[in-house]
């Protein structure tokens, strides 16, 4: 444990603010409220058209590192010259060169340049560096911390755990003073990679959900059962249109629902595969039943969840190993008494117990997904039973208040606001 109250922590983020990372904003705000002083350091500027209300509650200043070094030559060269005078620069350069031999990419070079700018511009003002995601943000945090002779730590999540090589994970774990991850699934993997004498530096801390930021769940009595065309069952999904979310499987499953069952599908999220998914929906004859809302802020997300009757997320492991951990949107859906159907992979079963707090099916199985949707579309009482159990589990074990304690302890903060 390090007592950080009164000291300033640089929080390194890949991008800030981001609509898809409310769990990070929620954590930053929770730590702020418990006395942690932070300076947010983003590797890139925001690209999302909106922000969430919680972003406006965060008081920490934000600085942006040069995303592409060649676009900011004076700033980068100045940063390197200033960082060169730091006592740990030679060690950081040696480690970077070792990394570069195993990962000969412009991305690796960029991270060292960004680290030098961070060290030069913020080194006199911070006492600790904490990075979100174990891949590129932790590379910048690690190099900068070594240059400055400061401790650093990380929070690992999903893609960052599964898409970087084991040598990189092992060496970052060894160098960091501690690391946390948000699922037991990821925790087991990182502990296995840690040196035996260092395994206690990795700990599990679920993100949880700050229920004070969400309205009370709506009254769900008298909901439709799919028998009336004027009152279709609304199926909601929130997530980026990327392969690991399994939206192609979900569309195939929707096409397997009998025509005498009335439903609408509402999707919230942007992403590179959105055009291909719309094309698939047209080919399947589903376009009249689907509303594509695109990327929206959390207010629209919450309203969409409140108006829905069923939440579906068909996650899978992508060909490159990318996968979700525990998607925060499942917790958000449960906060609005929305029963969830998802897949039995990664950390999702840590939150959803199939048959009790939701339904889980195998990934990439549209027939099984269709059967699960048909079961819940046509049975409102079953939906309500699952939703009630899911809400109780959320409040008892996955509220932010229940989940932030281990992280506040590592920062040496009081767990009371």
This prediction's pTM: 0.76
Which of residues 299 and 249 earns the better pLDDT score? 249
CATH topology of domain 212-397: Rossmann fold (3.40.50)
Which of residues 289 and 51 earns the better pLDDT score? 289
Confidence at residue 3, expressed as pLDDT on a 0 to 100 scale:
56
Contact 361, 408 (CB under 8 A): no
SS3 266: strand
Q: How many CA atoms lie within 13 A of 348 on its CB side?
A: 26
SS3 179: strand
The CA–CA distances, whole Å, from 188 to 150, 208, 279, 353 equal 27, 19, 39, 20
Q: How many CA atoms lie within 13 A of 241 on its CB side?
A: 20
Question: Cα(326)–Cα(351) distance, rounded to whole angstroms?
Answer: 8
* Average pLDDT value for residue range 104-130: 96
Beta-carbon contacts of 101 under 8 Å, excluding residues fewer than 6 positions away, are none
With respect to CATH, is domain 8-210+399-410 assigned 3.90.550.10?
no
Nearest to 187 by CA among 374, 379, 326: 326
Confidence at residue 22, expressed as pLDDT on a 0 to 100 scale:
83
Question: Cα(36)–Cα(415) distance, rounded to whole angstroms?
Answer: 11
Instruction: With a cut of 70, say whether residue 70 has pLDDT above it.
Output: yes
* Average pLDDT value for residue range 133-144: 97
Confidence at residue 146, expressed as pLDDT on a 0 to 100 scale:
98
Confidence at residue 267, expressed as pLDDT on a 0 to 100 scale:
98
Q: Kindly state the greatest CA–CA separation across the chain.
A: 73
> In which residue are the tokens 């700033």 written?
75
* Average pLDDT value for residue range 165-190: 94
Which of residues 198 and 109 earns the better pLDDT score? 109
Which of residues 42 and 6 earns the better pLDDT score? 42
Contact 100, 137 (CB under 8 A): no
Please determine whether the domains at 8-210+399-410 and 212-397 fall in the same fold group of CATH: yes
SS3 177: coil
> In which residue are the tokens 């229940």 written?
402
Confidence at residue 415, expressed as pLDDT on a 0 to 100 scale:
65
DSSP string, 234-286: EEEEE--SSGGG-HHHHHHHHHTS-TTS-EEEEEE---TTHHHHHHHHHHTT-
Confidence at residue 416, expressed as pLDDT on a 0 to 100 scale:
62
SS3 277: helix
Confidence at residue 158, expressed as pLDDT on a 0 to 100 scale:
84
pLDDT, tens digit, 9 for 90 and up, residues 227-280: 999 999 999 999 999 999 999 999 999 999 999 999 999 999 999 999 999 999
* Average pLDDT value for residue range 305-321: 95
pLDDT, tens digit, 9 for 90 and up, residues 191-222: 999 888 888 999 998 888 888 889 999 999 99
Confidence at residue 351, expressed as pLDDT on a 0 to 100 scale:
94
Nearest to 41 by CA among 117, 143, 96: 117
Q: How many CB atoms sit inside 10 A of residue 324's CB? A: 29
Q: How many CA atoms lie within 13 A of 367 on its CB side?
A: 0
* Three-point CA angle 135, 140, 146, nearest 5°: 120
Q: How many CA atoms lie within 13 A of 383 on its CB side?
A: 30
Contact 167, 175 (CB under 8 A): no
Q: Quick one: which H or E segment has residue 390?
A: helix 380-397
Task: Respond yes or no on whether the N-terminal peptide bond of residue 17 is cis (omega within 30° of 0).
Answer: yes
Contact 54, 18 (CB under 8 A): no
SS3 241: coil
SS3 151: coil
**Domain map of the chain by residue range?**
8-210+399-410, 212-397
SS3 15: coil
């Amino acid at each position: 444990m390090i007592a950080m109250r009164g000291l300033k922590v640089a929080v390194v983020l890949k991008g800030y603010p981001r609509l898809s990372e409310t769990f990070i904003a929620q954590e930053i705000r929770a730590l702020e409220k418990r006395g942690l002083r932070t300076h947010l350091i983003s590797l890139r500027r925001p690209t999302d058209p909106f922000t969430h209300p919680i972003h406006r509650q965060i008081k920490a200043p934000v600085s942006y590192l040069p995303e592409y070094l060649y676009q900011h030559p004076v700033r980068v060269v100045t940063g390197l010259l200033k960082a060169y005078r730091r006592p740990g620069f030679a060690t950081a350069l040696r480690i970077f060169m070792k990394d570069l031999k195993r990962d000969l990419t412009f991305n690796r070079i960029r991270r060292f340049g960004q680290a030098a700018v961070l060290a030069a511009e913020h080194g006199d003002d911070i006492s600790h560096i904490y990075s979100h995601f174990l891949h590129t943000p932790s590379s910048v945090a690690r190099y900068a911390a070594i240059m400055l002779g400061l401790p650093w730590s990380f929070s690992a999540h999903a893609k960052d755990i599964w898409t970087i090589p084991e040598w990189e994970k092992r060496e970052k774990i060894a160098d960091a003073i501690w690391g946390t991850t948000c699922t037991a699934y990821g925790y087991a993997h990182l502990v296995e990679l840690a040196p035996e004498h260092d395994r206690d530096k990795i700990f599990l801390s679920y993100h949880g959900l700050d229920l004070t930021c969400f309205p009370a769940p709506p009254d769900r009595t008298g909901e439709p059962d799919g028998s009336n065309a004027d009152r279709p069952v609304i199926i909601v999904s929130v997530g980026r249109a990327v392969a690991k979310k399994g939206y192609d499987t979900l569309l195939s499953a929707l096409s397997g629902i009998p025509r005498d069952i009335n439903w609408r599908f509402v999707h919230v999220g942007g992403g590179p595969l959105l055009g291909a998914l719309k094309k698939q929906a047209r080919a399947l004859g589903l376009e009249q039943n689907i509303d594509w809302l695109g990327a929206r802020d959390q207010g629209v997300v919450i309203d969409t969840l409140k108006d829905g009757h069923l939440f579906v997320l068909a996650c899978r492991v992508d060909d490159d190993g990318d996968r979700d951990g525990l998607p925060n949107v499942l917790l958000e859906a449960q906060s609005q008494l929305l029963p969830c159907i998802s897949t039995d992979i990664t950390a999702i079963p840590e939150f959803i117990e199939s048959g009790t707090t939701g339904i889980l099916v195998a990934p990439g199985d549209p027939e099984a997904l269709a059967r699960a949707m048909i079961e819940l579309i046509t049975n409102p009482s079953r939906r309500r039973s699952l939703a009630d159990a899911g809400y109780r589990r959320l409040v008892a074990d996955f509220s932010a208040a229940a989940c932030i304690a281990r992280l506040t302890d590592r920062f040496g903060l009081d767990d009371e606001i």
